[in-house]
Structure 1
Amino acid sequence: MAGSISNKSSLTKLQALNGLFAVYKKQGPTSADVLNSLKEVLLREAGVENPNPRKRKKQSMKMGHGGTLDSNASGVLVVGVGNGTKMLSTMLAGSKKYVAVGELGKATDTLDATGSVVLEKDFEHVTRLEVEEKLKTFTGDIMQIPPLYSALKKDGQRLSVLLKKGHKVEAKPARPVTVYNLTLQEFKPPLFTLALSSCAHVKELIRTKQGQFTLEEHALQEEQWTLEHILRALQPCPEADS
């Protein structure tokens, strides 16, 4: 009896959560996968038998994320729960920080390590100084053409998924972005962050900051996906009328 009361109390607390927090997304799963896994873990903790995170109406638990990370990327994934989902648009528009590792000499069709190599070139001539000079042209207010293999959607489906299914996809128009700072942290060819007179692809991408949430201070690891840890980490929002 005491156990059922405790579970009911946990579910009530879970369904009453309103705010934002951050979790760590590892390489492999999609952002939606992470969200569903998080929801399943929390519902199971609250005593819901065989929780299915996709049946949102029955479980009365509203949750969303504030900016997709590709499956091959890792790092900070901001989560909104309850009325916090209404605050997620601020995460999409807010500043972000990434650490990217590139591999020189090989270009892939997806621009990252998940694709097939489509071009190989020498890279021994590329120097650290040349890279640092080139980085300057990618800072400030620039026009950026989104890659075809991205999370952007057409008719409700991601461009990357459409491409993998063999559909023809047109490039999205360039859009303005602001790059506040871009630095070369390490130069150990063939691994570094940008190609010069060569070719390259992104080997690893880690989001280290999104809005006020940082990887080191705020992102909950999988073993911390509990109601107790979320209550500590939650940045609450005023309850709004639904």
Structure 2
Amino acid sequence: MAAEKASRLLSLNGLFPVYKPPGATSAQTLNDLKSRLLKEAGLKEFTKRRKQTLKMGHGGTLDSAASGLLVVGIGDGTKMLGVMLTGSKKYTTTGQLGKATDTLDASGTVTEEKPYDHITREAVEMALGRFTGSILQVPPLFSALKKNGKRLSCLVREGVEVEAKPARPVVVYKLSLTHFQPPLFTLDVECGGGFYVRSLIRDIGEALSSCASVKDLIRTKQGPFTLDDDTLRAERWDIEHIARVLQTSAPPQEPVCKRLKTAEDGAAAVQS
């Protein structure tokens, strides 16, 4: 049975959506998922000459404080993850006016507070026009971007003085205000790769002669995947559910003889 499950797991190829809960990093979510699958298949993780027991990766980091859709690649599907980094994404976010933080969201330390009583729904809607289309955006200091091979967020937490990355071109396809009850406002955002919703909320606050930070952030779409019933939550992180989802997303079909042999050997080692 163990060898059969191992063979089934290592024959899986393609992309599938999982739900990342708030508070966990994208890497932690992926590692948790991978550990569960290896345990179910009776396999141990090992790396030899950079070859892993099970190849898995995700298609773009989601903030640890955020929740929602994380696209995962398994087997040969990991080769397709680059498309997820540049494709269209959708988010629903709630911003808080009058409060700025060092991380640009609720997980950080408050760095500034400003009045927001003068801000109306009409003013917010007018400001959104400045952030639609091709725009320039300064990424957050707390981000996965790197300097000298190390993440900016890690450098900042270590007390290293880091300069903000220069503004870079990004694309916002759609931006709409869905709820306004000061100090909170909710937006639906559709954007391209490399876009930071936290920077958007910061910039909107500044455009309104105040400040703002993200209170809540949910990714609802990435590439062809949406946050729906097919998105696998933790209780469905098993080989059978992933196989079912991959069948509907047309995974690549390539020979996996070597990986099947690894599965059988690994399962036999666990049993012995």
| TM-score normalized with structure 2 length | 0.81
1:149-183 residue CA offsets vs partner (Å, 9 max, x unmatched): 11111222211111010112122122211100000
Seen in structure 2, the aligned counterparts of structure 1 residues 172 and 135 have a Cα distance that, compared at 3 Å, is same
Seen in structure 2, the aligned counterparts of structure 1 residues 59 and 171 have a Cα distance that, compared at 3 Å, is closer
SS in 2 for 1:209: strand
1:35 aligned residue? 30
* Structure 1 residue 145 corresponds to structure 2 residue 138: yes
2:227 aligned residue? 215
1:71 aligned residue? 64
Distance in 1, Cα, partners of 2:52 & 2:83 = 26
Q: 1:59: Cα distance to partner?
A: 5.8
Q: What letter matches 1:83 in structure 2?
A: D
Identity score, percent: 61
Alignment counterpart, residue 158 of structure 2, candidates 147, 160, 165 = 165
2:106 aligned residue? 113
1:185 aligned residue? 178
Distance in 2, Cα, partners of 1:190 & 1:180 = 26
Structure 2 stretches lacking a partner, 5+ long: 187-203, 259-272
Alignment counterpart, residue 237 of structure 1, candidates 248, 252, 257 = 252
Distance in 2, Cα, partners of 1:191 & 1:7 = 52
Pick the structure with more helix per residue: 2
Q: What letter matches 1:203 in structure 2?
A: K
Distance in 2, Cα, partners of 1:24 & 1:178 = 25
| TM-score normalized with structure 1 length | 0.91
- Mapped contact 1:56–1:62 kept (Cα < 8 A): no
Q: What letter matches 1:43 in structure 2?
A: L
Aligned length: 233
SS in 2 for 1:186: strand
Q: 1:56: Cα distance to partner?
A: 4.1
Distance in 2, Cα, partners of 1:84 & 1:69 = 19
Alignment counterpart, residue 2 of structure 2, candidates 2, 7, 24 = 7
* Structure 1 residue 24 corresponds to structure 2 residue 39: no
Seen in structure 2, the aligned counterparts of structure 1 residues 45 and 238 have a Cα distance that, compared at 3 Å, is same
Structure 1 stretches lacking a partner, 5+ long: 1-5
Q: What letter matches 2:69 in structure 1?
A: V
Tell me the C-alpha RMSD between the 2 structures: 1.8
Q: 1:188: Cα distance to partner?
A: 1.1
2:87 aligned residue? 94
Q: What letter matches 1:205 in structure 2?
A: L
